[in-house]
Chains A and B, each alone.
Chain A
Amino acid sequence: EPEVTQTPSHQVTQMGQEVILRCVPISNHLYFYWYRQILGQKVEFLVSFYNNEISEKSEIFDDQFSVERPDGSNFTLKIRSTKLEDSAMYFCASTRELGTGELFFGEGSRLTVL
């Protein structure tokens, strides 16, 4: 069964460093997302991406964050200068069509900022 894959599974970084989290969405999906889950808390929307551009972003997704689809398969989230409060699990998700509410999530990338 096709699935969303994410790398790395865990990254530890120093505050102020740049981090890139990578995702390979399901191949025939058109809408791509990043969500974040701080330990023990709910899953929060960061950004949605369609047709090679951001379609919506949350207040969390400030100038330190960017997303890119550099080729036909990868979808990346970059944090330019990490802060302690960026420590969280970051989930990539994709879907083929809007309206169903069904997002397919990856297993997540745990980011620890020291």
Chain B
Amino acid sequence: GQQLNQSPQSMFIQEGEDVSMNCTSSSIFNTWLWYKQDPGEGPVLLIALYKAGELTSNGRLTAQFGITRKDSFLNISASIPSDVGIYFCAGPQGAQKLVFGQGTRLTINP
């Protein structure tokens, strides 16, 4: 099946820094999704991208759907402590299910 590869696997940054992470696939996705998982909780959708080339913002978060439809990136500007968590990219595989990347773990030093 389709696989999503995320990089980096983990990031250690200072509060206030900007963050960039990306997700690639060997096959095309028609939708790209970015979820965040806080410790001890389920994933929560941050941003959904539906069109190749689309750039979408949600507060300090910005995500882009790559033109080739095989990649996406997520940027976080001016990081704050509550940004800590695991960020997953995801895409639909068929009509019913999502396939997730392995996640990027973000740690922030105050």
Contact = CB atoms under 8 A, between A and B. Distances in A.
Interface of A: 4, 31, 33, 41-45, 48, 50, 55-56, 58, 91, 93, 98, 100-103, 105-108
A98 B48 contact: no
Contact of B96 (A42, A48, A102): A48
A100 B33 CA distance: 9
- Interface band, chain B: 20 to 34
Given A101-B33, A105-B43, 10 more contacts: A43-B88, A45-B99, A58-B97, A91-B43, A98-B95, A101-B98, A105-B44, A106-B42, A107-B40, A108-B40
Contacts of A58: 97
16 contacts: A42-B102, A43-B88, A45-B98, A56-B94, A56-B96, A91-B43, A93-B42, A100-B48, A101-B31, A101-B91, A102-B48, A103-B45, A103-B98, A107-B40, A107-B41, A108-B41
The interface residues of chain B, by DSSP majority, are classed as strand
Centre residue among B42, B44, B93 by max chain A CB count within 10 A: B42
Given A42-B103, A48-B97, A56-B96, A101 B42 contact: no
B48 A45 contact: no
B90 interface: yes
Interface string B4-21: 000000000000000000
B101 interface: yes
A28 B44 CA distance: 19
